[in-house]
Structure 1
Amino acid sequence: MIYVFHLLDKPGGLELRQRMRPEHKAYLGAVADRIAFAGPLLTDDGKTMIGSVLAIDFDSREAALAWQAGEPFSKAGLYASVAVHAFQNLWPQKAGFPPAA
């Protein structure tokens, strides 16, 4: 089952986000083969990061929550708001994805 993580940073969290980003990306790398999509939430300027949206396949909600608890941004206390929901993808994606490398 895919679980979507909607994660909003605490106010003023940009410095912490930037500092922890390499660890966050490495942690995501460990589950890269199970990621449906992932990326930062941005302000309307399209540049300033204010949170994250991740969609990752896990065997259970418990496994998803355990993974999220160990995620570096979570452990560092970056998030003001955390929501985790089961997700069923019913639409083939055609927009919003980076070009294939």
Structure 2
Amino acid sequence: MIYIFHLLDKPAAGELRQTVRPQHKAYLAQQAERMAFAGPLLADDGVTMVGSLLAIDFPDREAAQHWLAQEPFFMAGLYASTTVHAFANLWPQKAGFPPA
């Protein structure tokens, strides 16, 4: 089942985000075959990162929560809030995805 991770940064967390980002990206890469989509949430300026939105296939909520507990941004205390929801993808994507 796909789980959506809606993860919002603490205010003024930009420096911490940039410091931990290489570890975060490496951790995400370990799930590349199970990743539906992933990317930063942005402020209205289209540049400033304010969180993350991830969609990853896990066998169950327990596995998804375990993965999140080991995620580098989570472990560094970057997030002000984290929400995990099961997700059913019922619409074929046509926009917003970079070329493969």
TM over 0.5, shorter chain:
yes
Residue 92 of structure 1 corresponds to 92
Deviation track 1:36-86 (CA, whole Å, cap 9, x = no partner) reads: 000000001100000000000000100000000000000000000100000
- After TM superposition, the structure 1 = structure 2 runs for residues 2-81 of structure 1, keeping only pairs within 5 Å, are 2-81=2-81
The CA RMSD measured in Å over matched residues stands at 0.4
CA positional deviation for 1:13 = 0.5
Secondary structure of the residue aligned to 1:89 is: coil
Tell me which stretches of 4 or more aligned residues in structure 1 moved more than 2 Å.
none
Query: Which whole-Å CA distance do the structure 2 matches of 1:62 and 1:18 have between them?
Result: 29
What TM-score do the two structures reach when normalised by structure 2? 0.99
Letter in 2 for 1:13: A
Count of equivalent residues: 100
Structure 1 segments unaligned to the other structure (5+ residues)? none
CA positional deviation for 1:99 = 1.2
Secondary structure of the residue aligned to 1:37 is: strand
What TM-score do the two structures reach when normalised by structure 1? 0.98
